[in-house]
Structures are given as structure tokens and as C-alpha cells.
Chains A and B, each alone.
Chain A
Amino acid sequence: MKYIDEFQDPDLARRLLDDIHAAVTRPWALMEVCGGQTHTIIRHGIDQLLPDQVELIHGPGCPVCVTPLEVIDKALEVASRPGVIFCSFGDMLRVPGTGRDLFQVRSEGGDVRVVYSPLDALKIAQQNPDREVVFFGIGFETTAPPNAMTVYQARKLGIRNFSLLVSHVLVPPAIEAIMRSPNCRVQAFLAAGHVCSVMGTGEYPELAERFRVPIVVTGFEPLDILEGVRRTVLQLERGEHTVDNAYARAVRPEGNPAARAMLADVFEVTDRAWRGIGVIPASGWRLSERYREYDAEHRFSVSGIRTLEPAECRSGEVLQGLLKPHECEAFGTVCTPRTPLGATMVSSEGACAAYYLYRRLDLPAAAASKTAAAAEHAGASGTPAPDSTPVPTATATAAPAPHAPREASPVV
């Protein structure tokens, strides 16, 4: 198929794999930042085909996974209110908050709707002037421009019954946090192509230089991934650390100026909590002062939410590349897509979900050999542990989050 088949061609893949095998002389650990790339890797079995010396570490780039529990709980609270129409992308509906998810809110009478674009939510607001319409605006630099555009449009059209529950996060601060972690093993990055298509590559040379890591902008089809790995390995083998664009068909160095201008108008940079990781300074966007009236947190009083993360969940370590999903004791036993402890198991881009869905047949860990049925009958509950130990609110530059019961920090 045009634009897809070309990038899944087995013969071309074999040639790239041959090049990679020929180039590798010693072990390298690469992090693919984006969860979409993780799923391509696992779904197509790319990790099985790479040389043993090339280890792919899965990064924090799943927008659903890193959305803080506090924000999910706020969404659940707002969506439960009479008179509210709560609109979201589909894959947020199954993400567990403290005790329930948006599907359950809907089954209890909440008006929760799946939309494919934030502009659809704005249309719903126009059609329902007597209701409050809230759009769940989460994600990386990729989803932020249309959300910004929607708020811009709402103000331009004078639509007052629309607001955004916003929790946008940014990739470069996350890369920096990962590299500053004392346990970091990452030697190079496959940067997320769609993020760069918006933001360009200007933020990366300084990171590549400071941490002496190659950063290769990479797409999402199997051949894109293999080409990204090939270029990364070549740099590592040569001792280089530059920013390289292997996704030139979509990414220009300057990104998308119109989108960036829209973002600059509507959002401002803020500290953000990342689910399972903690607060990373200057790692997110919030609505700027000019657009405050469109901020759902400003419009709805949703303070005082107490969140409880399941004690067994180690998704924070997975998100930082410190732990492979199947190395978690809960993986495939108490934690499955049906009974997820953390968002990494439920999100369509989550690393744990990818391993469980596609790879559990051949995972070496004992946990992986346990079937879904065994998991369902393990009798463990996804109910959060009643514990009040504060979660570390330090940045991810600190040691990884302890594997202990914890209460998430009310940061956002």
C-alpha cells in the first residue's frame, strides 16, 4: 500500500538488518522515546531480528502512560458532573484512575464521548450551548497543536461553554531527565519523528553534545525503525554523537512554524508531573494566562483529590527504561490489560501492553509464562494500596521511584 507497504518491505528490511549486523562490534543500548515506536518494534518482532548486542530500551513517550493519576482522577471527577459532556480520545477511557475509569463513569450516567479531534468537541459545545463541554487535552508536542488551535477557535468564535483539561508534556526535558539519572544505561536515542515534525530538531544538538549521545530522528514504520537503528549504531561505532534526521520525509529542521506559533500563543511552559516518574521541571505546557477561562481546572473546582497508586506497579521504572516490562513481578499475573495496575499496561502505546499483547509467548521470565486466565484467577485486586507514603516529588534525576506503596504527589 502506498506510504505504508513501502516501509514494511521484507527485502529492504533484510538489507538494513544485514547492515546493522555488519556494523555492530559491541553492545549498545538505544532508547526509542516514543510508545508508537515501541509498538512497531514489538508488533513486528524487530527486536528479535536485531543483533544481540543491540538492546532497545523503551522510553517514556506514551502520552497515556505518563498522564498523572491526579489528572486522570480530575477527569473522572469532572466527567461525573451533571451537565458536563466530557470528550476524549478513545484510549484514555480505559486508563485506570483511583478505583475506576472513564468507561465506568459513562456506565454510571456520565456523558463521556469519544472524539477523533478536539475540534469535534468544540462542535459538540456549539451544538449544546446549555452544557459544559470539556476536552481531555493530553499528550506530547504532537497532539498539542490541534488542542491549542481548538482553544484559539473557541475564543475567536466566542464559545464560552468549552474548556480543556490540559496535561501536555514535552520530550526534550524527559530526555535530559533520563540522561541525568544515575542508573541511566541509554547510549543513544531514536527521537520521535512526529514530535520533531512539529517542533523541529533545534532542541536536540545541545542535548546530544552535553550528554554525548547520538540522537536520530526516527519514524514509525518498520523500515523507519531499522534505518534509525542503523544510523544510530553507525554513530556509536564511530564514536560520534550528532543529531541525524532519518525521517526527512516528515521532519524539517525548523518543524512546523505555524503550529509552533499557535502553541506559543496558547500555551506556556510549566513544571509537570509524569505518572510513575515524578515532576520534571519545565517539562509541560499549560494554558497561558490569556486563555485561562478555557482551562477546565480553573473552571471546575477539582481540588482535594487524593490519589493512590497501586503498590505493585513499577511502570515508572519501565517508563525510564530501567526495567523491561516482563521483569516486573506483577507482569502477566496481577497486572494484565484486563486488570491493569498502571497505564503502561492499558495504553495502546504502553510498553507493558506491547509486551503482554504481542510477546508473552516467548518471554523468558516466569511471569510471562502465566496465561491471562491465570492472571484473572490470581485473585489479586487492582485496588490501590491504602498507603500514604509520599511519592518522591523530586525530578527523575533522582534514583528511580521505589517499589513500595505510595501516594502520588498532588503536583498538577
Chain B
Amino acid sequence: MSDTTTEPHAPVPDLTAWTCPAPLRDQNRVVMGHGGGGALSAELVQHIFAPAFGGEVLAQMGDAAALSLGGVRLAFSTDSYVVRPLFFPGGSIGDLAVNGTVNDLAMSGARAAYLSCGFILEEGVELSVVGRVAEALGAAARAAGVEVATGDTKVVEAGHGDGIFINTAGIGLIPPGVDLRPQRVVPGDVVIVSGAIGVHGVAIMSVREGLEFGVEIESDCAALGGLVDAMLAVTPDLHVLRDPTRGGLAAALNEIAAAAGVGVVVQERNVPVPPAVANACAILGLDPLYVANEGKLVAFVPREHADAVLDAMRAHPLGADAQVIGEAVDAHPGMVVARTGLGGTRVVDLPIGEQLPRIC
């Protein structure tokens, strides 16, 4: 690697000439971890996409962009879905393609109104499979109260895809008085999670890898707009919401802690981990805090509203198992720390890439 310094916002980054202490220095190709929702993903965005695209709205770096257009506050979000297998216990790629984008909008307080839907199909996929996915997608959209307004289809040669890839984008209105972003988090805020964590990731792993953990684990894939509505009905003054998908609860909390400049303390025993998920993670050497979810949210709520918000969440079917799991603190800004069940403490780090099952 040369010692020449590159222009900070060069439109086309030349990785071979990078010196910066750019964390990408050791890699000149994309690895799976770049899509894992952890540090590698963040570096990719920070060092390649954000400098190339620029823009104030993108700089918000939320799950959805908050826009002001014609005097109306909009939330706008896009996501791509590459899950394998296409159908899994508790859902399908069609459900994910709706719920994922709806949830990204919900995390900014917006109810999704319209979705776009782009299908990338691999040559050779049976049309009946495409039909089943489309039906699932349509049903999920109707259940979430959102309309698929526009779409696109492309076909790639056999061997160049994984059956079906779907991209969805969504748009919705942000209600007046709602301003959800990590910068609003202050020490003293209470951290609430809406229910059991790690379920989706373990469900996918069990079918993808043919692993059996004694009981079938179903994905928690669900649209969270209704739950968020119920929370906002208690108070519009929620500070931040995040759906802990890739990278799990650990990544979501780390992103919020870093953006807010606060520390986060999690009481590990209060984090709801279903026995089946805990067992599967114990067998594989994974930490449930890092396993993906698709129907859960984590909320930072002003202390004075925490009880009422928790009650409202528990009254909603998707928040019945909501728990207070911790708080924002002055100490160790930008870091997440867990108090262990035995009374010790540990850092809960941003994952690097994907979690890897360990050897023994």
C-alpha cells in the first residue's frame, strides 16, 4: 500500500492507493461480512457509498430517510432481500420483503403507505415458486396496510442468482411531533425490547443448514407499524426506535450508542431469549444478542414515559413479551456494556461481520 494520501471525497475511491488507516486496507474484494450488518458493513457505507453519494439526507444514516417534501414529512426506505431458503418456518422472502421495509419506515414513526417491488429472478426458477412468493408478498402488504404501487422484473442467467432476489422501497408519512433519531437519546433513557430475540436468525439457520434443535423455531417476521402506532399513542416523545435485524440487538444498540454519544448498560438476564434460541446458540457457540430478528424493535424512551409505553407495548400482540433491558448512561460513551447474571460486566461489541459457529 502506498503512502500517498487520497482526496477525502474522491468520487471513485481507488482502494489500491488508500492509505488511510482505512479499515478496508486488508481487503480488495467484497467478503460476506460486508453484508453482515456489523463493522464491515458500516465501513463499506462510510468509505465507499457515503463519499460517492454525498447528501445531507443520507448523512442521517437512519434505517429510513426522513424527508421534507412540499411541506410534508416523509419517511423513505429501501432494502434488498436475498434470503435462502425462499420459504422458511414462519414466513418467506415475500413476507420479509414487505415487513423489512415497512419496519424500516416504522422505526422513523411513519406508517408505510406505498411500496415498490423489484424482482430479480434466476433463469430456471419454477413459475409456481415465483407465484407463491408473489402471493405471500401481496398478503403481507395487505396485512401491513400498504399498497404495492410500482415494480420491476429482471432475469439473470442460471447460476447468477439464488432463485429470487427482491428489492422493495417504501414511503410513508411521519406524524406531526414525532422525531425519532439516536441523537435525541440522553442518559437516563430506558431501553425496551419488544419481545424474544434471536428467533428469525435461528429459524433460518435451522432450515438452511438442516440443523435440528428439538423444537421447530418459527421466524418472528412481522410488520411493526401497528405496535409503533400504539407506542406513539402513549407519547410522541419516543427518542429512537430500531429494528434489530442483521447484527442483532448488539449491532442496533451499538449504532445508537455511537450516534447518540451515550453509554448503554444492558441487564443481561432481562433480555428475553427463548429457550430454543438459547439452546441453539449454545450448541453453535453463537451469542443471541448478535442473531438477526425480523419482527422486533428496540426503543429508547424517556424514563417518565417508560412504564406507560411498556404497558402499551404489552397490550399489543407483537409486544406482549416486551421487557425493559437496560438504560442509557453517561459512562463509557459509544459503548454497550452488559451486566452479567452473576454480577460481572462485559462489553457488547459491534460485530465485525457475520457470527461464525465455532469449532467446539
A residues near B, CB below 8 A?
Answer: 1-2, 4, 8, 10, 13, 36, 42-49, 63-64, 89-94, 103-104, 106-108, 114, 116, 138-140, 142-143, 194, 222, 337-339, 347-349, 356-362, 371-372, 376-379, 381-382
Contact = CB atoms under 8 A, between A and B. Distances in A.
A114 B342 contact: no
Most buried by A among B31, B340, B346, B360: B360
Nearest to A88: B359
Contacts of B269: 10
A381 B25 contact: yes
A146 B335 CA distance: 40
Contact of A143 (B27, B342, B360): B360
Interface string B345-360: 1110110110011111
18 contacts: A10-B342, A43-B346, A44-B344, A45-B340, A45-B342, A49-B342, A92-B359, A222-B341, A337-B349, A349-B358, A349-B359, A359-B346, A361-B337, A361-B345, A371-B334, A372-B39, A372-B349, A376-B23
Contacts of B358: 64, 89-91, 347-349
B347 A358 contact: yes
Interface string B38-73: 010000000000000000000000000000000000
Given A338-B23, A339-B26, A348-B358, A46 B279 contact: no
A371 B211 CA distance: 37
Top 5 nearest A-B pairs (CB, nearest first) are: A45-B344, A90-B356, A358-B346, A107-B29, A377-B21
B347 A360 contact: yes
Most buried by B among A2, A104, A106, A358: A358
Contacts of A45: 340, 342-346
Contacts of B342: 8, 10, 13, 44-46, 49, 222
Interface residues of B, number: 44
Contact of B39 (A338, A377, A379): A338
B145 interface: no
A147 B340 CA distance: 35
B12 interface: no
Nearest to A1: B275
A114 B357 contact: yes
Contacts of B29: 104, 107-108
A362 B345 contact: yes
Contacts of B335: 361
Contacts of A376: 21, 23
A392 to B, nearest CB: 27
Interface in B308-353: 332, 334-335, 337, 340-347, 349-350, 352-353
Nearest to B276: A1
Given A44-B346, A64-B359, A90-B358, 10 more contacts: A1-B275, A46-B344, A47-B344, A49-B342, A91-B358, A139-B360, A338-B39, A347-B358, A348-B285, A359-B346
A36 B359 CA distance: 10
B347 A116 contact: no
Contact of B211 (A10, A116, A138, A338): A116
A371 B257 CA distance: 14
A20 to B, nearest CB: 13
A332 to B, nearest CB: 11
A381 B1 contact: yes
B82 interface: no
Contacts of B341: 8, 10, 44, 222
Interface of B: 1, 19-21, 23, 25-27, 29-33, 39, 209, 211, 269, 275, 278-279, 282, 284-285, 332, 334-335, 337, 340-347, 349-350, 352-353, 356-360
B343 A378 contact: no
A337 B352 contact: yes
Given A103-B33, A361-B332, A42 B346 contact: yes
A94 B356 contact: yes
A406 to B, nearest CB: 21
B359 A63 contact: yes
A307 B360 CA distance: 26
A107 B345 contact: no
Contacts of B1: 381
Contacts of A4: 278-279, 282
Contacts of A357: 346-347, 349
A371 B23 CA distance: 14
Contact of B279 (A1, A92, A222, A371): A1
Contact of A2 (B23, B275, B346): B275
B276 to A, nearest CB: 9
Contacts of B21: 376-379
Contacts of B353: 94, 103
Nearest to B357: A90
Nearest to A360: B347
A44 B346 CA distance: 7
Contacts of A43: 340, 346
A94 B353 CA distance: 10
Most buried by B among A10, A104, A338, A347: A338
A48 B343 CA distance: 9
A49 B360 CA distance: 26
Most buried by A among B209, B211, B340, B358: B358
Contacts of A107: 27, 29-31
A10 B337 CA distance: 19
Contacts of A382: 26
Given A103-B32, A103-B33, A104-B29, A48 B360 contact: no
Nearest to A140: B360
A337 B355 CA distance: 12
Contact of A104 (B31, B275, B332): B31
A338 B332 contact: no
Contacts of A339: 23, 26
Contacts of B332: 361
A91 B356 contact: yes
Nearest to A93: B356
A360 B209 CA distance: 34
A263 to B, nearest CB: 15
A346 to B, nearest CB: 9
A139 B347 contact: no
Contacts of B31: 103-104, 106-107
